[in-house]
Amino acid sequence: CGLVLVIKNEMAMGWKGYFPDAEDLIEAVAVPLGKPSMFSGPYQSRTPFHGAPPEEGAKANQLFWKLLRCAPPADVMVCPVVMGNRAVNLLYAHAEGGSSLPGNALEEATVVAGSAAQAYARLIKKDQGKK
């Protein structure tokens, strides 16, 4: 299960992703990043997280899983897409059935996040060249 969230005005908002039986709700996701949740730490630190969902922010995390119609997983991953010193997206994943993610999941997500940041930079540069 995975989700790409867009960051706007200190909110992580659902953009794209895959959740069985909840794909119609991905765009309804809106998580405040100024309050504790599994998303706020990676957003604020600009570093990825992989492990058991943190106890701090459990209420926000529960609301997120309830919206996406899934049980709380034992293992999650949240990886920021960072441009300069600004996080522009958060990548979220958990394994189907809530089990553990593969050991290389964070490494792969970090590569994807870096590639996304580079692609955004190229698009911005291309757009600036048209002006």
pLDDT (tens digit, 0 to 9) for every residue of the chain, 131 residues total? Answer: 999 999 999 999 999 999 887 878 899 999 999 999 999 999 999 999 999 999 999 999 999 999 988 899 999 999 999 999 999 999 999 998 888 999 899 999 999 999 999 999 999 998 887 76
Strand partners, 14: 5
Which DSSP string corresponds to 65-124?
A: HHHTT-PPPS-EEEEEEEETTEEEEEEEE--GGG-PPPTTHHHHHHHHHHHHHHHHHHHH
Does residue 81 contact residue 91 with C-beta atoms inside 8 Å?
yes
How far apart CA 106 and CA 108 sit, in angstroms, is 5
DSSP type of residue 46: -
> What pTM was estimated for this model as a whole?
0.93
